[in-house]
Chains A and B, each alone.
Chain A
Amino acid sequence: MTTLTDKPTAATGEPGSARSLVDTVFRAREISIAGALVLLILCTWIANPRFLDSQGVKDLLLNASILVLLAIGQSVVVVTRNIDLSVGSVTGLSAFACGKFVADTEHGVLITLLLGVAIGLACGLVSGALVSFGRVPALVVTLGMLYIIQGLDYWWASGDQINAAQVPEAILHLGSGSVLGVPYLPLIAVVLLALTTYFLRGYRSGRELYAIGSNPEAARLAGTPMRRRVLGAYLFSGAVAGFAGALWLARFGTVVADNAHGYELTVVSAVVVGGVAITGGTGTAWGAALGALLVTTIGSALVVLKVSSFWQGAITGALLLAAISADRIVNLRMTAALRKRSARHGHGA
Chain B
Amino acid sequence: MAMAPDTRSPAPGAAGKAEPPLTAGLRAKSLALRWDTAVVALLIAVFLVGLGTTDGFSGGGNLAFAFNDISEVALIALPMTLLVVAGEIDLSVGSMLGFSSALAGALWNAGWAFETIVPIVLVVGILGGLLNGWLVTRVGLPSLAVTIGTLALYRGLASVVLGSDAITDFPSKYAAWTANTTTLPGTFLTYPIVLFIVLAIVTAFVLHSTSFGRSLFAIGAQEDAAFFAGIRVKRYKLLLFVLTGLLSAFAGIVFTLRYGSARADNGTGYELLVISAILLGGIDFDGGKGTLAGAVAGILLIGVLRNLLTLNDVPGEVQTVVTGLLLVASVLTPRIIGAVTERRQRRAASAAAATT
Contacts and interface: CB of A to CB of B under 8 A. Distances in A.
Say if A and B assemble together.
yes
A10 interface: no
A137 interface: yes
B285 to A, nearest CB: 5
Interface in A160-182: none
A66 B140 CA distance: 30
A268 interface: yes
Interface stretch (A140-148, A190-198, A221-229): A140-148
A136 interface: yes
A247 to B, nearest CB: 24
Interface stretch (B51-59, B149-157, B245-253): B149-157
A155 to B, nearest CB: 4
B238 to A, nearest CB: 16
Interface in A118-154: 130, 134-137, 139-141, 143-154
Nearest to A279: B142
A147 B141 contact: no
Nearest to B286: A137
A314 B317 contact: no
Contacts of A279: 142
A130 B328 contact: yes
Contact of B142 (A262, A272, A313, A329): A272
Contacts of B156: 311-318
B320 A320 contact: no
B26 interface: no
A320 B95 CA distance: 15
Interface in A261-320: 262, 265, 268-269, 272-273, 277-279, 309-318, 320
B159 A313 contact: yes
Nearest to B143: A278
Nearest to A321: B149
Interface stretch (B72-80, B175-183, B200-208, B330-338): B330-338
Interface residues of A, number: 48
Contacts of A111: none
Main secondary structure on A side of the interface with B: helix
A272 B327 contact: no
A179 B238 CA distance: 53
B144 interface: yes
A332 interface: yes
Nearest to A261: B269
B284 interface: yes
Interface string A245-270: 00000000000000000100100110
A21 interface: no
Interface residues of B, number: 50
B272 interface: yes
A272 B279 contact: no
Given A277-B142, A316-B156, A321-B135, A141 B321 contact: no
A328 interface: yes
Given A143-B276, A146-B324, A324 B285 contact: no
B149 A310 contact: no
Given A272-B144, A321-B135, A140 B285 contact: yes
A332 B269 CA distance: 34
A143 B150 contact: no
A148 B324 contact: yes
A278 B319 contact: no
Given A143-B327, A151-B320, A329-B139, A321 B285 contact: no
A134 B324 contact: no
B149 A317 contact: yes
Nearest to A327: B141
A321 B336 CA distance: 40
Contacts of B279: 139-140, 143
A139 B285 contact: yes
Given A141-B331, A145-B324, A268 B317 contact: no
Contacts of A314: 152-153, 155-157, 159-160
Contacts of A320: 148-149, 152-153
A158 B316 CA distance: 11
B351 interface: no
Nearest to A126: B328
B164, B319, B328 pick with most chain A CB within 10 angstroms = B328
A317 B139 contact: no
A325 interface: yes
Given A151-B321, A317-B156, A141 B328 contact: yes
22 contacts: A134-B335, A141-B327, A143-B327, A147-B324, A148-B325, A150-B317, A154-B316, A155-B315, A155-B318, A158-B317, A269-B152, A310-B159, A312-B156, A314-B153, A316-B156, A317-B152, A317-B156, A318-B149, A318-B156, A320-B149, A321-B153, A328-B141
The 7 closest A-B pairs by CB, nearest first: A314-B156, A313-B156, A317-B153, A147-B324, A317-B152, A144-B327, A151-B321
Interface of B: 91, 135, 139-142, 144-146, 148-157, 159-160, 163-164, 269, 272, 275-276, 279, 284-286, 315-328, 330-332, 335-336
